[in-house]
Amino acid sequence: MKIKVGVLFGGWGEEREVSVKSGQFVVENLDRNKYEVREVLVNRIEDIIELKGEIDLAFIAFHGKIGEGGYVQAILDLLGIPYTSASPLPSQIGMNKWLFKRVLQSEGLTTVSDIVLDYVTKRILVNENGGYRQVLSRICLRQTVRLIAEKWSYPVFVKPADSGSSFGISKVKNESQLRPAVKEATKFSRQVIIEPSLEGKELTVTFVGKTVLPPILIIPHKGEFFDYASKYEEEGAEEICPAPIDSRLSRRLQRLTLKIKKVVGVETYGRVDFVYKPDEDVIYPLEINTVPGMTTTSLVPKAAAAFGWSNQRLLDEIIRLVLPEQNHTPEV
Ligand SMILES: Nc1ncnc2c1ncn2[C@@H]1O[C@H](COP(=O)(O)OP(=O)(O)O)[C@@H](O)[C@H]1O
Ligand SMILES: [Mg+2]
């Protein structure tokens, strides 16, 4: 009997376009000898609810807040349908970069310091000595400029806490660019993170269960950082895998990836983005992606290929984490 896999993609957020491409990739590469594939272009919540009793497993190729941030996962849990991403809580932690940093800090892991404009609780917090402290009980950009000047020099990064694909992220070069950058970030999130710009090597590491794939070095070409154009346009960035870094750094990255996977509680697969600063010899985790891009030009298939896995094998390995009892040898 073939396993009935529903491939969920689409959605109604800003990442719909990327999600459709990820969905197509998964649909095209699932081994038809093992799986009966059902394409599920999600336009409304009912498209998911209707799957009850119809599929054995949902392959989530659905990025952004709804598909990646725990909502779809919770619905599938309620429907009793196993799925390929992390469960709701780690999905939420992964979706919110601020929450992610707080979890890492509480485990004693290093994160880049930041100022948070929290429009939910209406206050400004700063990250000091491994914890967040409220510095102002309202949000004031003049005070934010002052705080930045006290702590760092420009450029700084302004980012929405819970978005993806670099939407709403700006590299701010001077005071006057701060207000428009915060405004842009608030289009995507009610929590805005300001971080110093980490000048170093940008690296990303994929894990599939306990298997860590070779790190990828990212050199953006289209933008000044790994922005939307660099991520998705042709020749947008150079992505070298395995990363040309020394084996000790590669092992450190891989160990740190597993540690982060563990403390966040991701049991399936994912990708962690880092910046390594050679002058400090410190690796800073930026975020964990619990439904990483899975298009033909995405980083995860690239890392899998460098590890000797075909696209088909990559998808098999992911599914095997969810349905371990299944025998994945083809039927004869
Ligand atoms: N503090 C930082 N220093 C340097 N580059 C950063 C920093 N934060 C983000 N970036 C750049 O912005 C990109 C997107 O940031 P990231 O936190 O990974 O969010 P997203 O979910 O949009 O991928 C990164 O890949 C990196 O190029
Ligand atoms: Mg990223």
| For the chain, domain boundaries | 3-85, 113-196, 199-316
Catalytic, 114? Answer no
Alpha helices by DSSP H, the chain: 16-29, 46-49, 64-68, 71-79, 88-95, 97-106, 141-151, 178-186, 228-232, 247-264, 299-306, 311-322
Cβ of 225 below 6 Å from ligand 1? yes
Q: Which residues contact 51 (CB under 8 A, 6 or more apart)?
A: 6, 40, 58, 79, 81
Ligand 2 centre and the CA of 105: distance in Å? 19
CATH architecture of 3-85: 3-Layer(aba) Sandwich (3.40)
Catalytic, 317? Answer no
Nearest to 217 by CA among 187, 182, 253: 253
Q: Which fold has domain 113-196?
A: Dna Ligase; domain 1 (3.30.1490)
Proximal ligand: closest to the CA of 156 = 1
Proximal ligand: closest to the CA of 223 = 1
Model pLDDT, residue 331: 53
Residue 53, burial from CB neighbour count under 10 angstroms (0-12, 13-18, 19+):
exposed
Model pLDDT, residue 173: 96
- Report how far residue 223's alpha carbon sits from residue 312's, in angstroms, rounded to the nearest whole number: 32
Model pLDDT, residue 332: 58
| pTM, rounded to two decimals | 0.94
Cβ of 112 below 6 Å from ligand 1? yes
Nearest to 201 by CA among 300, 284, 301, 260: 284
DSSP string for 34-46: TEEEEEEEESSTH
Catalytic-role residue among 276, 287, 298, 316: 287
Residue nearest to atom 21 of ligand 1 (CA): 164
113-196 matches 199-316 in fold: no
Ligand 1 atom at minimal distance to the Cα of residue 226: 27
Assess contact for 72 and 60: CB atoms under 8 A: yes
Assess contact for 161 and 191: CB atoms under 8 A: yes
Q: Which fold has domain 199-316?
A: D-amino Acid Aminotransferase; Chain A, domain 1 (3.30.470)
Catalytic, 287? Answer yes
Question: Within 10 Å of residue 100's Cβ, how many Cβ atoms?
Answer: 25
Model pLDDT, residue 92: 97
Catalytic-role residue among 96, 166, 289, 311: 289
Cβ of 100 below 6 Å from ligand 1? no
Output the tens digit of pLDDT for each of the chain's 332 residues. Answer: 899 999 999 988 878 989 999 999 999 999 999 999 999 999 999 999 999 999 999 999 999 888 899 999 999 999 999 999 999 999 999 999 999 999 999 999 999 999 999 999 999 999 977 789 999 999 999 999 999 999 999 999 999 999 877 889 999 999 999 999 999 999 999 999 999 999 999 999 999 999 999 999 999 888 788 888 787 777 888 999 999 999 999 999 999 999 999 999 999 999 999 999 999 999 999 999 999 999 988 999 999 999 999 999 999 999 999 986 654 555 55
